[in-house]
Structure 1
Amino acid sequence: MTQTAPAERAVAANMSRFDRFLPVWIGAAMVLGLLAGRFIPGLNTALNSLHVVSGVSLPIFIGLLVMMYPVLAKVRYDRLDTVTSDKRLLVSSLLVNWIAGPAVMFALAWTFLPDLPEYRTGLIIVGLARCIAMVIIWNDLACGDREAAAVLVALNSVFQVLAFAGLGWFYLNVLPGWLGLAQVGLDVSAWQIAQSVLIFLGIPLIAGYLSRRFGERAKGRQWYETRFLPKIGPIAPYGLLFTIVVLFSLQGDAITSQPLDVARIALPLLAYFVIMWAGTFALGKGLRMSYERSTTLAFTAAGNNFELAIAVAIATFGVTSGQALAGVVGPLIEVPVLVGLVYVSLAARRWFAPNPSTSVTAASVSERQ
């Protein structure tokens, strides 16, 4: 603990005022979005009418692109083989995301919402939609392994396309039948899921890869990392704030008009994010992974692809359905909880042995700015 204190003070000193107060700005963005959606006539309709393709919101896509591109441009793609060769990391991620995650959400949904089938179904859908977007920035804020995050997000995206519909059928129809519980159908195509993955992850990932490849080829690595990256880095938090404002503006009226329902939905979500993050973080340490990879494993397990979950709920059950509302409440709880877990993660660095090649120093945090 005494060894990490000087480093933590150095990190804080290197952070800009904007970054030090990021949780405050995120909270303000959530409030602004909720108020705008509630009190500005026609805003929800106007935002909903702007689509990249059917079911994919143009404003949310723009926000996610601005948020994710700088982080993905910083990834050292020539180092990805060090991640793909780490079988413990890859297998742990797949098991936690596709076995543990959906099962935990299923259990929590039935425990907390046995009398509210629409909300329960919406939460199960959220649990099936593994994270491909905001986890990139939570991982970066927590000083996780960027290369590992890129690989795990891509890996889980492939599994999302292949497994989402089948797991939806299993958890909403087959398993409840075995347990003597109510059954619900889920009609979603693999193309609908692939479309969401390709747009929300594929475009910023390709842009980040091409930036590094051609930037280094034209100007060299030193120019790219000391001149180019510091210029684009600061825009990522603004993309995050813009995304939050738009997301909560789209559903501000639904959230603010049903506060008791939101509270019922929030409880299992809160339990889910904490259980998934803490359990996976402990798993990483138990497997003797570094702090950086344990952090990345934890955030990729705890986050969810709320864009896909909301789109599936709306397409299957309707925009005013309880299932859609449960999907919307997901990011309302996920954003502040995972911001808090960023700070928990940073504080937990003292539990890990120092790693000179990957340790978090003031310089490495400055690079993230």
Structure 2
Amino acid sequence: MTTDTMTPPRLSTLDRYLAVWIGLAMVAGLLLGRLVPGLGEALSAIEIDGISLPIAIGLLVMMYPVLAKVRYDRLDTVTSDRRLLGSSLVLNWIIGPALMFALAWIFLPDLPEYRTGLIIVGLARCIAMVIIWNDLACGDRDAAAVLVAINSLFQVVAFAALGWFYLTVLPGWLGLDQTGFDVSPWQIAKSVLIFLGIPLLAGYLTRRGGERRWGRKRYEESFLPKIGPWALYGLLFTIVLLFALQGEQITSKPGDVARIALPLLAYFAIMWGIGYLTGRLLGMSYERTTTLAFTASGNNFELAIAVAIATFGATSGQALAGVVGPLIEVPVLVGLVYVSLALRRRFPHPSPAVVPSRTPVEDRS
């Protein structure tokens, strides 16, 4: 079945009230973390080599259905798009870190621990949850898979060097306070392998095996709709766990959370806006513009929190800044999903006439 990508998506009940479910998941997590003694410590204790096992499971369940929908035999149409790849690299690895550095110093000049935590968040480009935001906004999931893979490679190679530059070198040039930063490349690679490598491999093998067994049409029209809802189930489960783990810390420091939230709000909105405008100026389709905007605005909070805890301690201000990241990112990017869908009809650049059946909400209805 082919679908005109400019046709408004037919929302299922699950999608129609998406913001409500996510809001309830956030509240439930905060209440659980606050009201159930020792829950956060118990969840934190269930880990493998520093990776929280429950959160890892939630993220894998969330990402697998989306990556099983990717048409891997058509990725060459993405890798040949130099406008998309070039603009994504510039947005993610030049503009994003520089913007977060500037916002952290503008909003938190007197709070060095939180400022450092925010800069680390800005360096950790998103490789997980951005896939679900892109899919909900009907972006190009094939392009998202490629951009996330590229971000993963850059993250392993460049994260430590950029951390040293933005926390030590650049502040020194500007006469600002400097912060020591030492993180193992293996720690970064481990995060990439777990949170992207496993679901990417599972999605690829499912696609290959499913098409061989049933054919592409049956795979996409019968199998994918069955596993589609699990992406949102995994998202909601992950949100509950994240907020339960840090519920007490967040609710006990509302003033600090508010101070950290302001630059994060500005960051997510500005990065998404720059990505969206870039796509329009370069004449990209709605789908690829949306993918560019969301991959530029999301952050890998799992890695940022892990690095902050390993470097500065679990109770440090740097770790708290990382924890506040998803508290702000989740509702803001959910809101931007709706903004994207509202702008879809007015998008000036036409989409391809014939594309895969790729409206995620139709897959789940």
SS in 2 for 1:351: coil
* 1:143 matched residue in structure 2: 138
What runs of 5+ residues in structure 2 fail to find an aligned partner?
A: none
Q: Distance in 2 between matches of 1:356 and 1:148?
A: 14
- Alignment counterpart, residue 177 of structure 1, candidates 169, 172, 179: 172
- Alignment counterpart, residue 192 of structure 1, candidates 187, 191, 194: 187
* 2:13 matched residue in structure 1: 17
Whether the 8 Å CA contact 1:143–1:360 is kept in 2: the answer is no
- Alignment counterpart, residue 42 of structure 1, candidates 38, 59, 65: 38
Q: Distance in 2 between matches of 1:308 and 1:357?
A: 39
* 1:340 matched residue in structure 2: 335
- Change in Cα spacing, 1:364 to 1:246, as seen in structure 2 (3 Å) is closer
Q: Distance in 2 between matches of 1:351 and 1:293?
A: 12
* 1:288 matched residue in structure 2: 283
Alignment of 1:65-104 (within 5 A): 65-104=60-99
- Change in Cα spacing, 1:226 to 1:362, as seen in structure 2 (3 Å) is closer
- Alignment counterpart, residue 264 of structure 1, candidates 249, 259, 268: 259
Query: What per-residue deviation string (whole Å, max 9, x for no partner) do you get for residues 85-131 of structure 1?
Result: 00111111111100000000000000000000000000000000000
- Alignment counterpart, residue 104 of structure 2, candidates 86, 104, 109: 109
- Change in Cα spacing, 1:324 to 1:264, as seen in structure 2 (3 Å) is same
Q: Distance in 1 between matches of 2:355 and 2:248?
A: 45
Query: What per-residue deviation string (whole Å, max 9, x for no partner) do you get for residues 176-231 of structure 1?
Result: 00000000011101000000000000000000000000111122112211111111
SS in 1 for 2:75: helix
- Alignment counterpart, residue 28 of structure 1, candidates 8, 24, 28: 24
SS in 1 for 2:116: helix
Of the structure 1 ranges 358-367 and 221-230, higher mean CA displacement relative to structure 2 is found in 358-367
Determine if the alignment matches structure 1 residue 250 to structure 2 residue 242: no
Deviation (angstroms), 1:353: 3.0
Q: State the aligned residue count.
A: 360
The residue identity in structure 1 corresponding to 2:298 is G
- Change in Cα spacing, 1:362 to 1:74, as seen in structure 2 (3 Å) is closer
Determine if the alignment matches structure 1 residue 134 to structure 2 residue 129: yes
Whether the 8 Å CA contact 2:12–2:362 is kept in 1: the answer is no
Q: Distance in 1 between matches of 2:75 and 2:248?
A: 43
- Alignment counterpart, residue 329 of structure 1, candidates 324, 331, 334: 324
Deviation (angstroms), 1:267: 0.1
Q: Distance in 2 between matches of 1:364 and 1:133?
A: 17
Alignment of 1:285-364 (within 5 A): 285-349=280-344, 350-357=346-353
Q: Distance in 1 between matches of 2:320 and 2:117?
A: 8
Query: What per-residue deviation string (whole Å, max 9, x for no partner) do you get for residues 299-354 of structure 1?
Result: 00000000000000000000000000000000000000000000111111212233
TM-score normalised to structure 2 length? 0.96
What runs of 5+ residues in structure 1 fail to find an aligned partner?
A: none
